[in-house]
Amino acid sequence: MNLTEEQIQRYSRHIILPQVGGIGQQKLMDAKVLLIGAGGLGSPAALYLAAAGIGKIGIVDFDKVDISNLQRQIAHGNEDIGRWKTESAKNTINGMNPDVEVVEYRVPINAENAMDIVSQYDVVVDGTDNFPSRYLMNDVTVWLDKPLVYGSIFQFDGQISVFKKGDGPCYRCLYPFPPPPGSVPSCHEAGVIGVLPGIVGSIQAAEAIKIVLGIGDPLIGRLMIFEALEMKFHEMKIRKNPECPVCGDSPTITEPIDYEEFCGVQVGV
């Protein structure tokens, strides 16, 4: 074990857990997690991953902090308005845990850069707000055999799952192709209760940490539905679809796709 005296103190509540211990903490400190989005979901995920001592956190976001973000995006504060979200999140992360190496990607994730960026990480946490990025992340993580921790939110409801090639289905097994433009509303058009991404993003962080540690039962093959108004969790089974266009027996999608924007408004993908 190579933990310093300060690290032993910092992570003592982890280290005394038999499921983590010094070896588990070392795994966390050696782990590289990529966050797609430093917004509602990415904020709590980033903070808990940083607090847990994840060694390297990559953050992909090409947006700047706006005052309307602050109702839910807890990695950013009032003084960050107008700053790059990656920069603001890095500042918050390192304020909490200076040991974490934060890599900023101030670019939209797209077919050109996705494989290169994702290949440098062990786990991907999907906190995007649009279908093109979600499908792209799904496909790329299938090809690179990286676990994808999926989360999405709408008004008072959230969804969480873990997609891992070999062990279970992928997002396209659940929904093979994106809905046509205008058929489902997007985040941009609908409100969201501010604490909802906090809950969903924290669950995503928990799943990422479990994957790194190799403990417990991840949400593989299970779609968890959270309803804040009822304060209920439901769970649906997701099966691997042999006809899945990306992870099925005869894949028809073999290269990254930049889907047209179909969120209702331009998000710059």
Partner 1 sequence: MAVEVRIPTIFQKLVGDEKTVASEGANIIEVLDKLDSDYPGFKERLTNEDGEIHRFVNIYVNNEDIRYLDQLETALSDGDVITILPAVAGGSI
Question: Residues in the site for partner 1, rule: CB under 8 A?
Answer: 37-42, 61, 63, 72-73, 85, 126-131, 134, 151-157, 159, 174-179, 183-187, 190, 192, 197, 223, 225, 227, 229-230, 234-239, 263, 267
Q: Which amino acid is at 126?
A: D
Minimum distance of partner 1 from residue 262's CB (angstroms): 9
Alpha helices in the chain (DSSP H): 5-10, 12-15, 21-30, 42-51, 85-96, 114-118, 131-144, 171-174, 195-213
Residues 6+ apart with CB under 8 A from 89: 38, 42, 43, 46, 59, 61, 75, 76, 102
Minimum distance of partner 1 from residue 152's CB (angstroms): 5
Minimum distance of partner 1 from residue 33's CB (angstroms): 16
| Complex with partner 1: residue 24 or 127, whichever CB lies closer | 127
Query: Do 99 and 155 touch, CB atoms closer than 8 A?
Result: no
| Complex with partner 1: residue 18 or 229, whichever CB lies closer | 229
Distance CA 103, CA 87 (A): 9
| Complex with partner 1: residue 31 or 38, whichever CB lies closer | 38
Minimum distance of partner 1 from residue 208's CB (angstroms): 15
Minimum distance of partner 1 from residue 63's CB (angstroms): 6
Minimum distance of partner 1 from residue 134's CB (angstroms): 6
| Complex with partner 1: residue 179 or 216, whichever CB lies closer | 179
State whether the Cα torsion 118-123-128-132 is positive or negative. positive
Residues 6+ apart with CB under 8 A from 86: 38, 59, 60, 61, 104, 105, 106
| Complex with partner 1: residue 9 or 235, whichever CB lies closer | 235
| Complex with partner 1: residue 136 or 213, whichever CB lies closer | 136
Neighbours of 68 (CB within 10 A): 9
Query: Do 69 and 61 touch, CB atoms closer than 8 A?
Result: no
